Chains A and B, each alone.
Chain A
Amino acid sequence: MTAATPAVPVPVREGRRPHPWVRFGVRRLGRLLVSMWVLLTASFLMLHAIPGDPVRAALGPTAPADLVAAKRESLGLDDPLWQQYLHFVHGFLTGDLGESLLSRLPVSDVIAQRLPATLWLAVLGFLFAVAIAVPLGTAAGVLTRRGHGRRTELAFTTSSVVLGTVPDFMIGVGLVYVFGIRLAWLPVAGNDTPSAYVLPVIALGIGPGVILARIIRVELVSVLQADFVRTARAKRLPRRTVYLGHALPNALTAALTLGGLLLGAMVAGTVLVENVFAWPGLGSTIVGSILNKDYPVVQGIVLVYGVAVLVTNTLVDVALALLDPRSLIRED
């Protein structure tokens, strides 16, 4: 059997080096794994970096000593550090994140129950940000391209800087006051009805949205001066095709790099926004758990946020590679 099949060379494309996509995939996956490992180790060490006995801290000074000892025993805190570490990594890989010190529920159950609400909020917030950023940034870019609309530019830049600097939770509080209390148009807590999504999504997305719009404008203005836009015009394409077909994708490529960071920040932004709107997601859970010193839950949720950020960044890089094939061959 083996003798009958001649050694067929792997069809490497055109006999050159591995395909750029393969090399990109390997490189990017490697980076993701290393970052994951750092994250895992950091959240493991977090528990051990807490001064004093975390179990004692969680159960309170009045808890009987044998209860604390039993708890330490069950958490494996008396084992050698390396053994605990292996146990922790193994648990992470098999989806076992320990159990809550207080409710005794498995942490993975807590997360599974709370994650969807946060995910929805983050995804909708991001979509909202993009939905305002792309048209706003494009319009501002076209209006303020070389030598145009100095005043528009000043107004746009100033207002977007100010709006982009206001923290999302303060926008949230403002929205609650105006639309929830004064006007009483929209619900301000929970996620029971579709209308309850409106304010949290706006609070989360508007800041990143205007920042992204600003980046898109700056990029578009510079792309509109590029030679290839002149080429597109030399082909006498309709204006719309020149702006949206040639200029915008290139502006978005650059905007995406910075937008990726923004997306990561939005994942974290959900923590504050959730606390404004009593959103039943991970954000309100982690804050409650920090205050109650329920460390396994905190550890688990930190891991989830961290993984979410890392995965987001990787997806952004992949999207970047799809939009701009040059980034495939760019070494980091």
Chain B
Amino acid sequence: MSSLSRIWRSPLGATTAALSLGVLVLAVVAPVLWSDRASAIDTDHLLAGPSADHWAGTDSLGRDIVFRTLVATRLSVELALLSTAIGVVVGLVLGTAPLLLGKHLGRLVSAAVNIAVAFPGLLLALFFAVVFGVGATGAVLAIGLAGAPTFARLAQTLVAGVASREYVAAARIAGVGRVRVLLRHVLPNIAEPLVVNATIGAGGALLAFAGLSFLGLGVQAPAYDWGRLLYEGVGSLYVNAGAALAPGAAVLLAGLAFNLFGESVAKLVGVSTVVRQVPVAVARPGGAVDVPDTEEGDGDAAPSDVVLDVRELEVAFPGPDGRPVRPVRGVSFAVARGEAVGIVGESGSGKSLTALAVSRLVDDPGRVTAERIELLGADLQARDTRAQRQLLGTSLAMVFQDPMSSFNPTRRIGGQVAEGARHHQGLDRRAARERAVDRLRAVRIPEPEERSRQYPHEFSGGMRQRAMIAMGLMGSPALIVADEPTTALDVTVQQQVLDLLAAIRAADDVALVLISHDVSVVRDVCDRVLVMYAGRIVEDLPVARIDEALHPYARALIAAVPDMDTDLEQPLAVIPGRPVAPADVPPGCAYADRCPLASARCRAEDPPLLADATGHRVACWHAGEPSSRQELAEIAPSRLKLEPTRREEDQVSADSTGSTGGRR
């Protein structure tokens, strides 16, 4: 019912619904009201043009075109509905054949349906029109049967979807007969899409009928439907265009109304099952304390040694209510030559977007702003120029998460690896190809010559990822940005890819930014780790001192990684609660809701990211409290739980000074 009211509320749905209804009403009342006037012969006005008496003129017997068109509504609609009904019923019988007749016979019917579907409806209609003879009856059967294969195909698909469900299987096991299963369990569940498609089909049938009548194969005089009127009208097109215009407009209007009404119902019914992708929430940027500049933190490296320098990076997207949502909120870091920096965080922490933003790959409608984004000293916020593309194309290599979808499926690997070099390094096709093969060899792809001629789907996941790395090595990268490069790979292959990245780094002093949700991967590969939460860096420390992390979130994240000492009798540690949605970042520290140490200050004021003398940066009012991990573990609710309530958290927090109340 609710979907019905939604149809009324959408402009297209309401218009087409009203039109369809109008056509149906007209079909009922028009012949009763105007039959006499439609057949009244006016010999004074044969084939007359439009006039006050006859709005659309008259036909060759002086009969009024408008009234004839109105009266023809009934026959036209009747014939269209009749042939749709035939199409649906025959289609349903054919489409449910696999269910009724069993596997082998059913397969034969499906094969026949598949062949019939390949032929256009009009051709089938002509075929059946020959068999059933010229005239209304023949045309109804012809159009009905011509539509049957399409409905059969639809029914097949729908039945296949329902037949595999548990309740159908259960009914069958319980010994319910096939016909009964079909009538009681299957048909009611496919009725809705079937009816929707039948509505669309009725519009099509109406137009098809007009086509057949137009050819002279449909309704024969003295009976008349819109197609027949059109046929006669076209004959006198030179004398009175209105004679063709009126029935033509009627056919179009009615056909479109049925058709589009069905389409909009289908769309609404379909949409209702799809969850909207953008979370409907209010952005709350207000109240967040701006991150102060942390010069000391990233000033360690000498300027010439800095490959990537990012200050106050922000990424914003237009929110559902027009206000921007900011998944990245003021991120500052620098990467030195040859340094490997890991960025860790839960999904939604903004780590991938940070990587995309520094690589200039955030697409519209996303907006990237920053105080500074510099790659090898060149400003990446400047306008997109050829020189900048060249710099990025040769000095920055990207490795993405899913190597399957990251390659163009329709192009050979070699060409895709070589492509960039042809644009940026001025290599010709042959030279680029040779270099690509060489690079594939460098990432240890066996038989690179042959492999370069293969398509992505012929590569294994690990090989594709290595080819992706080879693509980045076509130039002379100073920085590799790898966004979850091993997440989509087999565990056994993960290490190979990580080793390859490490080897490249060592060989050419290439810097690496490794995005990962896996602390152990970062621990293996990186020198430094940035912990991100809710679009901010909350801690930045050397990997060697990772166990001395000060931020409660960073500590929890590190504690969540099982190691050899983990007591397997105990449930694995988890961080309670859920990450903050970018559209719903609270004022104060974004982690406060999940933090066992959270105090009133945390909920009111966002802690700045401050560096100590060694360059270790942390953003927490309670950094390092309590001092040892064991103590933290004792107070932190690190047992497996799904949704801890606020109250529970408050009870266990060490220095809770009372809740600041609801936030929403």
> Could you tell me if A324 and B410 are in contact, using CB atoms closer than 8 angstroms?
yes
Instruction: Flag if A226 contacts B120 (CB, 8 Å).
Output: no
Closest residue to A34 on the B side, CB-wise?
Answer: B115
Which residues of the partner chain B approach A174 to less than 8 Å between Cβ atoms?
248
* Residues 420-440 of B contacting A (Cβ, < 8 Å): 420, 423-424
Tell me which residues across on chain B come within 8 A of A306, comparing CB atoms.
119, 123
Note all chain B residues with C-beta closer than 8 A to A177. 237, 241, 244-245
Contact A291 B457 (CB under 8 A): no
In the complex, per-residue mask of B396-426: 1 if CB is within 8 Å of any chain A CB, else 0: 0010101001111111000010011001100
Chain B contacts of A324 at CB under 8 A?
409-410
Q: Whole-angstrom distance between the alpha carbons of A233 and B339 in the complex?
A: 25
A275 proximal to B (CB < 8 A): yes
Question: Which one of A46, A147, A238, A326 lies within 8 Å of B365 (CB-CB)?
Answer: A147
CB < 8 Å: which of B214, B251, B410 contacts A275? Answer: B214
Contacts of B121 in A (CB 8 A): 265, 268
B216 part of interface (Cβ distance < 8 Å): yes
Q: A167-B207, A305-B123 are in contact. Are A173 and B408 (CB under 8 A)?
A: no
CA distance A239 to B118 in the complex (A): 38
**Once the chains are docked, how many angstroms separate the CA of A227 from the CA of B389?**
19
Q: Does B255 sit at the interface, judged by CB under 8 A? A: yes
Give B221-264 as 1s and 0s: 1 = Cβ < 8 Å from A's Cβ atoms: 00000000010001001100100110010011001100110010
Once bound together, how far apart are the Cα atoms of A235 and B216, in whole Å?
Answer: 60
B211 at the interface (CB under 8 A from A): yes
Neighbouring A residues of B123 by C-beta, 8 Å: 267-268, 302, 305-306, 309
Nearest CB of chain A from residue B571's CB, rounded to whole Å: 35
Q: B341: CB under 8 A from chain A? A: no
Residues of chain A with a CB closer than 8 A to B260's CB: 161-162, 165
**In the bound complex, do residue B210 and residue A227 qualify as a contact, i.e. CB atoms below 8 Å apart?**
no
* Per-residue contact bits, chain B 478-494, to A (CB 8 Å; 1 contact, 0 not): 00000000000000000
Q: Using a Cβ–Cβ cut-off of 8 Å, how many residues does chain A contribute to the interface with B?
A: 70
Interface residues, chain B, CB within 8 Å of chain A?
12, 112, 115, 118-123, 126-127, 129-131, 133-134, 203, 207-208, 210-211, 214-217, 230, 234, 237-238, 241, 244-245, 248, 251-252, 255-256, 259-260, 263, 318, 359, 361, 363-365, 389-390, 392-393, 398, 400, 402, 405-411, 416, 419-420, 423-424, 455, 457, 468, 471
Distance, CA A302 to CA B385, complexed state (A):
59
- The residues of B that contact A302 with a CB separation of less than 8 Å are 123, 126-127, 130
Q: Are B400 and A167 in contact (CB under 8 A)?
A: no
Q: Is the interface of B mostly helix, strand, loop or mixed?
A: helix
Residue in B118, B131, B216 whose CB lies within 8 Å of A310: B118
**Cβ-defined partner of B211 (8 Å) among A46, A167, A241, A246:** A167
**Chain B residues whose C-beta falls within 8 Å of the C-beta of A158 in the assembled complex:** 12
| Minimal beta-carbon separation of A280 from chain B (angstroms) | 16
A127 on the B face (CB < 8 A):
no
Please determine whether B408 and A250 come into contact, CB atoms closer than 8 angstroms: yes
Known pairs A46-B131, A165-B255, A269-B120 / 14 extra A-B pairs, C-beta < 8 Å: A34-B115, A146-B365, A147-B364, A167-B210, A177-B237, A177-B245, A241-B423, A250-B408, A264-B120, A267-B120, A267-B123, A268-B122, A295-B130, A309-B118
User: Within the complex, what minimum Cβ distance (angstroms) separates B418 from chain A?
Assistant: 10
**Which A residues lie within 8 Å of B130 (CB)?**
46, 50, 290, 295, 298, 302
Report the minimum CB–CB distance from A317 to chain B (whole Å): 11
CB pair A232–B408 under 8 Å, yes or no, is yes
| A177 CA / B244 CA spacing, docked (Å) | 10
Q: Is B420 a contact partner of A237 (Cβ separation < 8 A)?
A: yes
A49 to B133, CA, bound (A): 11
Judging by beta carbons under 8 Å apart, are B248 and A236 in contact?
no
A173 pairs with B263, CB closer than 8 A: no
**A166 contacts B by Cβ under 8 Å:** yes
**Closest Cβ–Cβ distance, residue B109 to chain A (whole Å):** 13
Contact between B119 and A166, CB atoms less than 8 A apart? no
Residues of A within 8 A of B263 (CB): 161
Residues from chain A with a CB closer than 8 A to the CB of B392 are: 236
